[in-house]
Amino acid sequence: MGNVGRHARFVEAAACAGATVYAAGVLITPTGIEADSAQLRGYAKTHGMVALMSNYAAPTGGFASAGRSAVWDERGETVIEASGLGEALLIAYRDGDTLHGKLIHIR
C-alpha cells in the first residue's frame, strides 16, 4: 500500500492551479512510510506548498498501517508528525510567515 509518488501529476496540476496545500488521505504500511513521506516532503518543497498526509492509525482491511500522519511546510520541513499508531489530531496553523504544529493524542 502507499506509493504516493504515482500521483505527482495531480500535485503539479494543483500547484499550477494555485493550490497552496496538498492533502493526501492514505493507507501506507510500515515498509512504505519512509519513501512515501519523502515523496510528500518533496512535493511540498518542489511546489512551494504545504503537504499534509493523513494515514490510517491502526490496521485496516487486513493491512498494517504505519500511522505517522504529518504536515510539511513549503520548504519540505516537518511541521508536525504523529509518533506512530494510535488516534491523534494534528493541527497546523500560521503565525505570520511561520507554520506551527500541535499534536493531540486521542487515545
Q: What is the pLDDT of residues 3-56, one digit of tens each?
A: 566 678 999 999 999 999 999 999 999 999 999 999 999 999 999 999 999 999
Q: What is the pLDDT of residues 84-99, one digit of tens each?
A: 899 999 999 999 999 9
Residue with cell 512515501: 36
d(CA 68, CA 95): 24
Residue 74: count other Cβ atoms within 10 Å of its Cβ: 16
d(CA 72, CA 40): 8
Confidence of residue 1 (pLDDT cuts 50, 70, 90): very low
Q: What is the CATH number of the domain that holds 37?
A: 3.60.110.10
Provide the domain limits for residue 48.
Answer: 4-105
Count structural domains, the chain.
Answer: 1
